[in-house]
Chain A
Amino acid sequence: MVIIKRKQLTWMEKAYLPEVIRGLRITLGKMFQKPSTRQYPEDPLITTEVTRGQPRLVVNEDSTIRCVSCGLCEIACPAYAITIDGQETDRMIEREPEKFEIDFLRCILCGFCEEACPKEAIMMSDELELADTSRQGLIYGLDKLKRPVSALKKRIAYINKINDRWRTSSST
């Protein structure tokens, strides 16, 4: 059993009105402070390399896609949001995606695809805005997913850093 000792109120506190005025003074003070709200569309969210936005496909500087359509991200995806059809190519890597679709109605932005990817080909970008008037419009194909490597450089560096730490610590 817990016995709670209530604070003995002084006469002034029992009169209630002075305390009411004290409370009103505090709220009046708050009124003239700067609001902590962000006006979203005009003043967008600050993103960093840690921001886990929508996944995007990395395109090399010679405008070839890094993805080899191995299907690991497709398997890793817990929401079954990724669909890949591969095809052959004359490049060194021999395979590239013919169709790469991410259904953003299903995607939960977990970043498992990024972790699963052996080629640093799918990366979580800092793009967060996701709105459309149709369901079909939210199934992104290759054309909408491709991003040049320069746009995702920060994220790739960050992931490498994290992975390095992980590798060294698990060596024991």
Chain B
Amino acid sequence: MTVLLATILKVVVIFGALISAAGISTLAERRVSAWIQHRIGPNRVGPFGVLQPLADGIKFIFKEEFVPEGANRWLFILAPALSAAAALMSVAVIPFGGLITEIDGTPILMSIADLDIGALWVVAIGGLGIYGVILGGWASNSKYSLFGGLRATAQMISYELSMILCILAVVAMSDTLNLREIVNLQDSADSRCFGFLPGWNIFYQPLAFVLFVICTFAETNRHPFDFAECESELVGGFHTEYSSMKFALFFIGEYCAMIVMSCMTVTLFLGGFSVPYWSEAPFLIGLASFLLKVTFFMFLFLWVRWSLPRFRYDQLMNLGWKVFLPLALVNILLTGLAVSL
């Protein structure tokens, strides 16, 4: 009974934290863009503007709900929900921290579900978020939206391949798909790289790490690969026709996907909740280390967005199919060789 209660508590806390983190990310996006552009950014609502996302949310709720003429009503409403739900669901297997406590001999771990197929789950469920984009783009009955949806589709399929191959390299090394075990393997002292570096996969798989990080940018439709939105060509891409809370849901979905992808990068390549040179660190310190690493990758998302220009669409496709896929394949071949030797 208490175990069930603990699980429910974990679900509530993790989902709540994820959605709040998405809200805070929107504020961070605006503040970081302001700093990079020599501005100050929103700092009026609450101390340092921390209540700005709340104000935005209230504003979104009171905006007019609008369904364009000729739109497919049900799909138009379903799309943002799908987009947000997929991103929220994929967080379920991320191990945020180690052992919290034990109840009646049952260990309570800091992740909602400890699936054997964790790595696959994130890719499978996270990949469904694309349906929100496609359906939203198609159901809007607008050519800009349709173009955004189509571009997002082709882009997602192209980059998902390379991304899965990068994950596969890590999985082949760790011999498991369970994310917690992947983290524990990186934590153990005898996995140290060259004897002194922490046993993180980034040192064993530098190529896969770089490819994976770039693929996460393409997967979450972020700059410099944001062809689904592409303000300068497609007005707003798939969410051109959206308003009010439906628009906000798309954004929650986007930021949640970014957070989940950052979590995946940290878990797969940067030792997750482990602390370098401190095996089996206490729960809170492990959690803090995890959040710190995720924050860095979230910052990277924002930093890159406000630094780099957008690619051209054919460049994106060339990069995906002619550079990333061969590199990922070579990487997995080399990994296979190294593992079998």
Chains A, B in direct contact (C-beta < 8 Å): yes
Spell out A's residues near B (CB within 8 Å): 17, 20, 23-24, 26-28, 30-31, 33, 35-37, 39
Asked if B307 and A27 make an inter-chain contact with CB atoms under 8 angstroms apart, the answer reads: yes
Return 5 A-B CB contacts under 8 Å, by A number. A26-B307, A27-B307, A30-B38, A31-B35, A35-B39
Contact of B32 among A23, A24, A31, A33 (CB under 8 A): A31
Contact of A36 among B38, B303, B304, B307 (CB under 8 A): B38
Closest to B319 in A: A16
Closest to B35 in A: A31
In the bound assembly, the distance between CA atoms of A128 and B151 in angstroms comes to 49
Closest to B32 in A: A31
Asked if B210 and A17 make an inter-chain contact with CB atoms under 8 angstroms apart, the answer reads: yes
Please give 17 more A-B residue pairs, beta carbons under 8 A apart, in addition to A30-B37, A35-B34: A20-B304, A20-B307, A23-B308, A24-B304, A26-B307, A27-B303, A27-B306, A28-B303, A30-B35, A30-B38, A31-B32, A31-B35, A33-B38, A35-B38, A37-B38, A37-B40, A39-B40
Considering the complex, which residues of chain B in the window 19-46 have a beta carbon less than 8 Å from any beta carbon of chain A? 32, 34-40
Chain B 300-322 interface mask (CB, 8 Å, partner A; 1/0): 00011011100000000000000
In the bound assembly, the distance between CA atoms of A147 and B37 in angstroms comes to 41
In the bound assembly, the distance between CA atoms of A26 and B307 in angstroms comes to 8
Residues on the A chain within 8 Å of B36, using CB: 27, 30-31
CB distance from A8 to the nearest CB of B (A): 19
Q: Count B interface residues, CB 8 Å.
A: 14
Residues on the A chain within 8 Å of B306, using CB: 27
Closest to B309 in A: A23
In the bound assembly, the distance between CA atoms of A1 and B306 in angstroms comes to 36
Contact of B307 among A17, A24, A33 (CB under 8 A): A24
Asked if A35 and B40 make an inter-chain contact with CB atoms under 8 angstroms apart, the answer reads: yes
In the bound assembly, the distance between CA atoms of A24 and B39 in angstroms comes to 18
Residues on the B chain within 8 Å of A35, using CB: 34-35, 38-40
Closest to B300 in A: A24
Residues on the A chain within 8 Å of B40, using CB: 35, 37, 39
In the bound assembly, the distance between CA atoms of A35 and B36 in angstroms comes to 9
In the bound assembly, the distance between CA atoms of A17 and B306 in angstroms comes to 16
In the bound assembly, the distance between CA atoms of A31 and B37 in angstroms comes to 8
Residues on the B chain within 8 Å of A24, using CB: 303-304, 307
CB distance from A160 to the nearest CB of B (A): 40
CB distance from A97 to the nearest CB of B (A): 42
Residues on the B chain within 8 Å of A36, using CB: 38-39
In the bound assembly, the distance between CA atoms of A20 and B38 in angstroms comes to 20
In the bound assembly, the distance between CA atoms of A24 and B36 in angstroms comes to 10
> Considering the complex of A and B, which 10 residue pairs feature the smallest CB-CB distances, nearest first?
A27-B307, A31-B35, A36-B38, A27-B36, A37-B39, A23-B307, A37-B40, A35-B40, A35-B38, A24-B307
Residues on the A chain within 8 Å of B210, using CB: 17
In the bound assembly, the distance between CA atoms of A33 and B39 in angstroms comes to 10
Closest to B36 in A: A27
CB distance from A69 to the nearest CB of B (A): 45
Residues on the B chain within 8 Å of A27, using CB: 36, 303, 306-307
CB distance from B303 to the nearest CB of A (A): 6
Closest to A29 in B: B36
CB distance from B338 to the nearest CB of A (A): 24
User: Given contacts A27-B303, A31-B32, is CB(A20)–CB(B308) below 8 Å?
Assistant: yes
Closest to A33 in B: B38
CB distance from B180 to the nearest CB of A (A): 32
Residues on the B chain within 8 Å of A31, using CB: 32, 35-36
